[in-house]
Structure 1
Amino acid sequence: MSNSQNASFNAGEAKAQAEEKTSQMSEKAGEMINQMSEKTSQISEKAGEKTIQMSEKAGEKTSQASDMASEKSSQASDIASEKTSQAGGMLQSAKESVQEAGSQMMAKAGGAAEAVKNATGMNN
């Protein structure tokens, strides 16, 4: 074999080896890309699950807060209603006391007028 044939043979061998290495590296790169894609998908799925869980917890907390606010509002309304009722009762009692006092004063005034008439002889 001549030097040029030998060089040509060696060049062909080197080219074949380079192509083989390139093919192997491309295959490994493809595998790595697939693995990375799978990991990214898993991470994304877990993040989605966590987001759903957090959203559900936030909804529960909001519902609890709303329930508590509603309960407190109802209690405040009940207390206000009770106080209003008590105030109404007190006003009624005060009104009755004033009326009673007025009636007593009128009776005393009438009695005093009778006494004056009797004393002056105007009642005869």
Structure 2
Amino acid sequence: MNNSESASYHAGEAKGQAKEKAGNMAEKASNAAHSAKESMQEAGSQMQAKARGAADAVKDATGMK
């Protein structure tokens, strides 16, 4: 293998490694986004439950139930 072939081989190898790292980073970002979405959905559900509880408390206190 001459110097040109060796350089070409190493360039291709580096390109493959860069693609793999980019793919791994994209997967990690996707996982983080999914986790954030789930956390936000859970927080929204908790807020809805608290709002329902507060509304029921007001209805009970005012005798509207």
Query: TM-score, normalization: structure 2?
Result: 0.96
Identity among equivalent pairs (%): 51
Residue 67 of structure 1 is matched in structure 2 by: 9
Correspondence for 1:97: 39
CA distances 1:1-23 after superposition (whole Å, capped 9, x unpaired): xxxxxxxxxxxxxxxxxxxxxxx
* Residue 49 (structure 2) aligns with: 107
Between the two proteins, the alignment pairs up a number of residues equal to 65
Question: RMSD across aligned C-alpha pairs, in angstroms?
Answer: 0.9
Q: Distance in 1 between matches of 2:6 and 2:26?
A: 30
Paired letter, 1:90: A
1:119 to 53, 61, 64: 61
The residue identity in structure 2 corresponding to 1:85 is E
Q: TM-score with structure 1 length normalisation?
A: 0.51
What is the match of residue 85 of structure 1?
27
**Structure 2: 5+ residue stretches without partners:** none
CA offset at residue 120 of structure 1? 0.4
Code of the aligned partner of 1:71 = E
Q: Which 5+ residue runs of structure 1 have no aligned equivalent?
A: 1-58
Partners of 1:70 and 1:86 in 2: how far apart?
24
Matches within 5 A, 1:2-21: none
Distance 1:119 1:70 in 2: 73
